[in-house]
Structure 1
Amino acid sequence: MSDPIKHECGLAFIRLRKSFSYYQQRYGTTMWGLNKMYLLMEKQHNRGQDGAGVAAVKLNVEPGYPFLHRIRSAKPQAIADVFRQIGAEVENLAQYNPEIRKHAGLMKGHVSFMGELLLGHLRYGTQGKNNEEFCHPFIKRHTVPARNLALAGNFNLVNTEELFSLINIDPGVFQRQSDLAAMMEVLHHFLVQADENSPEHPDIKAVLQKALPLFDGGFHVGGLTGDGTGFVFRDANGIRPSYYYINEEVIVAASERAAIRTTFNVGENEVKELMPGQALIVYEDGRYEIFQALEPKERKACSFERIYFSRGSDEKIYKERLALGHNLSEQVLNAVDNDLKNTIFSFIPNTAEVAFYGLQKGMEDYLNKRKLERILSWGNNIDQEQLAELISRRVRIEKIAIKDVKMRTFITEDTSRNEMVQHVYDITYGTVTPHVDTLVVIDDSIVRGTTLKESIIRMLARLKPKKIIVVSSSPQIRYPDCYGIDMSKMGDFIAFGAAVALLREKGQEQILQDLLEKCKTLQRNNQLHTENVVQQLYKTATTEEISAKVAQLITPPEVDIPVEVIFQSIEDLHKACPGNLGDWYFTGNYPTPGGNKVVNKAFMNYMEGKDVRGY
């Protein structure tokens, strides 16, 4: 992705179903569970680099001894920092007793995070500051074990104010900045009620059934209670991904199927998907239950997970990204007038690489078809030299754009900083025949277009191609997100900027004011959540007109080489990713009422010149 956006988070949940001595005897280490937690988090490190945290609950702890521990870090390489601290505790103990690692009971008694229940989290901050205080898991402590709660998740909520009001809490400054704080207060409120009603065995199932319907958003959340109960739950539309694996030794849940498969070396079909609205509960005695905590709604699993966010090591995601690229073949061929001889294909590193392979396959299919037609047209009059030349034709691919190590600059002056930003990407010289070759580069998505304009297009223009075609494996990003991705300002989207620019060119700016007034009316009547007003804006221009305007907007003024932009169609996106039809960023069809409220609020902020979040 040329314009990086903060997105997602990663969740890791492990419940050991055997004693620590079992893992010592079978795997040679009492720390098997912690080792697996480290791997499970590292295999999802793409999902969060602002911070990490781990919570652990020990079972059957003697009264008076701590049973809930938590560690968090917001340092660079946060996962490594968290487990370095955990490892340091073990090393300090081993200095006094080198054999302690072999004694399960001593390890559990002296190592803080030797718990049977483990909850890990990787954070990309979409709200709050990037410091340790905002890293998950959050915890609520209480003298009664069952009322202790650790919570972590991959989500955003759009109704936090209503949640605080519901349980009569006036949130402080910190709580207002954290969705998890709101969710924590609600869940803990019902947990305390459940413990009051049944002190020996609080009904966690009833707690989830009461709390979950109150949350408006997309969520995949894990939790631990102090009495040894663990749980994982998913939103009713299945917006955020959730997977689990269960055998006689362990119960695992995570945000990515591939992470579980790699960590535990299991087959694809052994890792199950927690379906929309479902919750997985693991009880103190190791029994588990999967139940429908929320009535499932139309599945709207996030399509961006398949386009970009999730790791492509999942075989289904890999195939879908290939299809995203392949689906663009016809549009690209039309754009280059089927002239593959004078066209070079490349990609913007590194996340567009798989889609590039799919596009390359589409070009090869076309070229092979043309070769076959030519050979058949010759009949029996085959010239060996012509045949050899025909067979040797290949789709021309080059590594044109090179992403350098993340560049930092001490310069604060805007003009100088822009000059430095131009060099985030470098090019491979000597690959393009000047003024003859068309250059086609594929990106997985175009959000703001800033990097394309300030860096990539300028760099590619130095090669002097006849034409530059930028291909996006996703459709036009037109609307904000409020379910875990940091895209909440209308002015950030180049597709929105293009639509507004077209309105102004046509002298129809009044439409913007009309839409603003409609939003204000809805707001006064507490109806801002009832419809997406901004969808009307995009009815004033065709998709092709917006694409052409985007091409103009990303072209630096000094570049005189023609630039064209090709976007994936909504229909082809759905064909490539049939299980993830959540497409509100592209269509504005939000799965929950809160989405409509956010997009309308974001539009109002834009019109009123407020550079703030839409929720």
Structure 2
Amino acid sequence: MITTNPFDDDKLREECGIFGVSGAETASAMVALGLHALQHRGQEAAGITSWDGHDFHTHRAMGHVAGNFDRDEVIRALPGDTACGHVRYSTTGETSLRNVQPLYAELNSGGFAIAHNGNISNAMKVRRELIRRGSIFQSTSDTEVIIHLVATSNYRTLLDKFIDALKQIEGAYSLIVMTPEGMIACRDPLGIRPLVMGKLGDSIIFASETVALDVVGADYVRSIEPGELVIVTNDGELRSLRPFGEVHPRPCIFEHVYFSRPDSIIDNSSVYSVRKAIGAQLAIENPVDADYVIPVPDSGVPAAIGYAQQSGIPFELGIIRSHYIGRTFIQPGDKVRHLGVKLKHNANRALIQGKRIVLIDDSIVRGTTSLKIVQMMREAGAAEVHMRIASPPTKHSCFYGVDTPERTKLLAHKLDIGGMQDFIHADSLAFISIDGLYKALGEAKRADIRPQYCDACFTGDYPTKLTDQDEAVVENQFELLAERVS
């Protein structure tokens, strides 16, 4: 079984989307709608937990939101005016129902449900210590360490226990937590992963992206600030805490490049407008003589529009996408497998034949996707195929909740740009510079001492400790040494 989409095989994948609502008569139905809008952030599994004032109710399932949460009997089994939900693409823990969120546990203070977007970079170390102290884990998800840290904290109130737990973890997290006392939404001190707040009547809503607020008809209020906890009590009282002190924020720059939907607002910036600005800056830095600017659908479209407007080269749809093909299907042989690539995307041969084209894509990861695209354009008769990428070369792995290949499998780690151009068989290849990317985001350039974003996938400048990763490297070195000695 393979994917029918040749352009999805080689993309960085965001790990999760979260959505929560407090004080709505049909809370679980609203969460299901919100998760539909966040489906692009995680397509392996989905879950919803509700609170009816007495009991918590949870339904979790593998697969998409549609098919699992579009039945009346499922929503009726999730009563209450408070609910939160999660869509998942795993970056830690295996793909199984026990890792599907929200995770739920009965603590001394009552029920505790948590939905997490991000990745805890010291989760394995914390987990080992908790197990040594007697904790019994029910999943392999990094999120579960938060539950155990809350359960074993010596602080008195649940809120203080939760803050105590957060101060023991590293990495990236945006969280929605439900307790009998109310809902808590929070963002890690660097604000690596996004989280926004909205309002619909008297209901307070939290979501990974503003597009989820749009779907349910809620008004966007503001982003949750890095390091902020927003508490909504059951009677609707709203308050904000900042328990971590002053830290220079480093939100993920790739949210603007690829992860977020273009109709969202991330940290008060329109994703669509930023991507057009990236395309325009790409045209300034890397011009080329060509007949058409062609986006790689769908994520390359806004940047391609910006490139076309800046360069004066006409924008055209040279790759046509079918929206009626399922994600996977059985392939009986290599020949049919090769033909199946064209079921979802096909070259617009009549437009392309004999033309010099500029292909705009958001990134190159392993390079296999770009190779397929260039080959498709060649077979359609393109005279020249130039590729322009709306991000700098991806040379480093992400440890903050993005499913990135090992560094050795990243094409930009193995080859320089000339080597990458030869690998994908393009007539030319160019990337936006890191300073150009910052300029498109409204900054003069990347600050050397205090960068404004987390751009570690491009620069290797990780803004937090990577405890688990560092320990794994040391363990591998010891294993290699032991093998040599033996």
Give the TM interval when normalised to the shorter protein: 0.7 to 0.9
More strand by share: 2
Stretch deviating more after TM superposition (33-42 or 413-422): 413-422
Cα distance in 1 for residues equivalent to 2:256 and 2:169: 25
Q: Does 1:361 align with 2:302?
A: no
For the residue of structure 2 that corresponds to 1:141, the secondary structure is: strand
Change (3 A) 1:79 1:591: farther
More helix by share: 1
**1:20: which partner in 2?**
none
Cα distance in 2 for residues equivalent to 1:151 and 1:464: 53
Q: Does 1:318 align with 2:277?
A: no
Q: Does 1:582 align with 2:454?
A: yes
**1:443: which partner in 2?**
361
Change (3 A) 1:114 1:408: closer
Change (3 A) 1:599 1:304: farther
Q: Does 1:222 align with 2:173?
A: no
Change (3 A) 1:351 1:461: same
**1:553: which partner in 2?**
423
For the residue of structure 1 that corresponds to 2:35, the secondary structure is: helix
**1:427: which partner in 2?**
347
Change (3 A) 1:358 1:186: same
For the residue of structure 1 that corresponds to 2:359, the secondary structure is: strand
The structure 1 residue matched to 2:217, chosen from 264, 267, 273, is 264
For the residue of structure 1 that corresponds to 2:349, the secondary structure is: coil
Q: Does 1:254 align with 2:207?
A: yes
The number of residue pairs the alignment matches comes to 457
**1:478: which partner in 2?**
395
Cα distance in 1 for residues equivalent to 2:376 and 2:475: 34
For the residue of structure 2 that corresponds to 1:469, the secondary structure is: strand
Change (3 A) 1:423 1:120: closer
The structure 2 residue matched to 1:15, chosen from 16, 22, 27, is 22
> Could you tell me whether the CA contact under 8 Å between 1:261 and 1:271 is conserved in 2?
no
Aligned positions of 1:111-150 closer than 5 A: 111-142=76-107, 146-150=109-113
Change (3 A) 1:576 1:171: farther
- CA shift digits 1:402-446 (9 cap, x unpaired): 345357464477787567557764211122453xx3211101111
Q: Which amino acid aligns with 1:573?
A: L
For the residue of structure 1 that corresponds to 2:13, the secondary structure is: coil
**1:543: which partner in 2?**
none
For the residue of structure 2 that corresponds to 1:357, the secondary structure is: helix
Cα distance in 2 for residues equivalent to 1:121 and 1:240: 14
Cα distance in 2 for residues equivalent to 1:421 and 1:210: 50
Q: Does 1:397 align with 2:315?
A: yes
Aligned positions of 1:296-307 closer than 5 A: 296-307=246-257
**2:437: which partner in 1?**
573
- CA shift digits 1:376-408 (9 cap, x unpaired): xxxxxxxxxxxxxxxxxxx33332223453574
Cα distance in 2 for residues equivalent to 1:595 and 1:346: 42
Q: Does 1:352 align with 2:300?
A: yes
Cα distance in 1 for residues equivalent to 2:352 and 2:13: 34
> Could you tell me whether the CA contact under 8 Å between 1:72 and 1:82 is conserved in 2?
no
**2:73: which partner in 1?**
88
Cα distance in 2 for residues equivalent to 1:50 and 1:68: 24
Change (3 A) 1:414 1:157: farther
- CA shift digits 1:236-295 (9 cap, x unpaired): 1100001112476111111012322442342xxx42111111111122433221110322
The structure 2 residue matched to 1:456, chosen from 368, 373, 376, is 373
Cα distance in 2 for residues equivalent to 1:491 and 1:415: 30
**2:120: which partner in 1?**
157
The structure 2 residue matched to 1:329, chosen from 265, 283, 287, is 283
> Could you tell me whether the CA contact under 8 Å between 2:172 and 2:401 is conserved in 1?
yes
Q: Does 1:49 align with 2:47?
A: no
> Could you tell me whether the CA contact under 8 Å between 1:243 and 1:273 is conserved in 2?
yes
Deviation at 1:37, TM superposition (A): 1.8
Cα distance in 1 for residues equivalent to 2:476 and 2:279: 36
Q: Does 1:285 align with 2:205?
A: no
**1:382: which partner in 2?**
none
User: What's the TM-score once normalised by structure 2's chain length?
Assistant: 0.86
For the residue of structure 2 that corresponds to 1:280, the secondary structure is: strand
For the residue of structure 2 that corresponds to 1:442, the secondary structure is: strand
Cα distance in 1 for residues equivalent to 2:232 and 2:246: 21
Cα distance in 2 for residues equivalent to 1:122 and 1:309: 14
Highest Rg: 1 or 2? 1
Cα distance in 2 for residues equivalent to 1:602 and 1:399: 49
Structure 2 residue runs without a partner (length 5+): 1-6, 444-451, 481-486
**2:446: which partner in 1?**
none
Cα distance in 1 for residues equivalent to 2:169 and 2:462: 15
Deviation at 1:89, TM superposition (A): 5.9
Q: Percent identity?
A: 23
Deviation at 1:51, TM superposition (A): 0.9
RMSD: 2.9
Change (3 A) 1:53 1:423: closer
Structure 1 residue runs without a partner (length 5+): 18-29, 62-66, 91-110, 198-202, 365-394, 499-545, 556-561, 609-615
Q: Which amino acid aligns with 2:35?
A: M
Q: Which runs of 4+ in 1 moved over 6 A?
A: 170-173, 412-416, 602-605
Cα distance in 1 for residues equivalent to 2:424 and 2:467: 28
**1:379: which partner in 2?**
none
Cα distance in 2 for residues equivalent to 1:602 and 1:127: 20
Change (3 A) 1:313 1:598: farther
Cα distance in 2 for residues equivalent to 1:332 and 1:593: 35
- CA shift digits 1:46-84 (9 cap, x unpaired): 11111111111122x3xxxxx111110103x33441342
Cα distance in 2 for residues equivalent to 1:600 and 1:358: 42
Cα distance in 2 for residues equivalent to 1:123 and 1:441: 31
> Could you tell me whether the CA contact under 8 Å between 1:326 and 1:361 is conserved in 2?
yes
> Could you tell me whether the CA contact under 8 Å between 1:400 and 1:427 is conserved in 2?
yes
Q: Which amino acid aligns with 2:382?
A: P
Change (3 A) 1:413 1:261: closer
> Could you tell me whether the CA contact under 8 Å between 1:490 and 1:603 is conserved in 2?
no
Change (3 A) 1:359 1:39: same
Cα distance in 2 for residues equivalent to 1:300 and 1:602: 27
Cα distance in 2 for residues equivalent to 1:188 and 1:230: 17
For the residue of structure 2 that corresponds to 1:430, the secondary structure is: helix
Deviation at 1:603, TM superposition (A): 13
Deviation at 1:345, TM superposition (A): 1.5
For the residue of structure 1 that corresponds to 2:392, the secondary structure is: coil
Change (3 A) 1:188 1:288: farther
Q: Does 1:189 align with 2:61?
A: no
> Could you tell me whether the CA contact under 8 Å between 1:41 and 1:120 is conserved in 2?
yes
**1:374: which partner in 2?**
none
The structure 2 residue matched to 1:74, chosen from 35, 41, 62, is 62
